[in-house]
Amino acid sequence: MNDYWGIPEKEYEISLMQFARQQLSDSGYSLLEERLEVCSGAGALTLTAIIKTGCELMGLYIHDGPRQRKKRGSPLIKVLGLLPETKNVEKLRKFIIMHQDDFHIILEHENRSLRDKAERELLQIYSNLYDSKIRDLYETDLSSAADILRVRLRNESQA
């Protein structure tokens, strides 16, 4: 996982969930903050976000890429509880980095049925985004996938 973390330069700030605003809303979620990082070369991505459903805040962690799909077949998607001191996505991201091996256990969401439902719905939303924005890159020339993916996912407000 260390390969996928780093402090991106301002020019590389990107958003994936901007393309799923309506789907998120239709499923009862709103995205409060998102941090998306794309690894060089093949374009593996790691998304950390804070989402809201009803009046509850949850963390979202997605890790995907050619290596992930080759070894495990599907993206890693986790809906997480938030510690009281986790007020923004940067703090959540830093916690995940500091606890790479067990963050999903430490931050396990208390309500198992809500977590499972959210993970299923968010997997479907992510799958639609994957099919429309990412799949063709992972199935073709991986050497330039990261650069193309960054351009595709660049936040519209920064364009």
pLDDT at 146: 84
Amino acid letter, 90 = E
Buried b vs exposed e over 69-79: b needs ≥16 C-beta within 10 Å? beeeeebebbb
Q: Which two tokens stand for residue 65?
A: 């890429």
**DSSP per position, 113-143:** HHHHHHHHHHHHHHHHHIIIIIHHHHTS-GG
Does the pTM of the predicted model rise above 0.95? no
Say what the pLDDT of residue 126 is.
95
Mean pLDDT by 10 residues, the chain (159 residues): 42 79 93 89 89 92 86 89 91 93 92 94 94 87 82 67
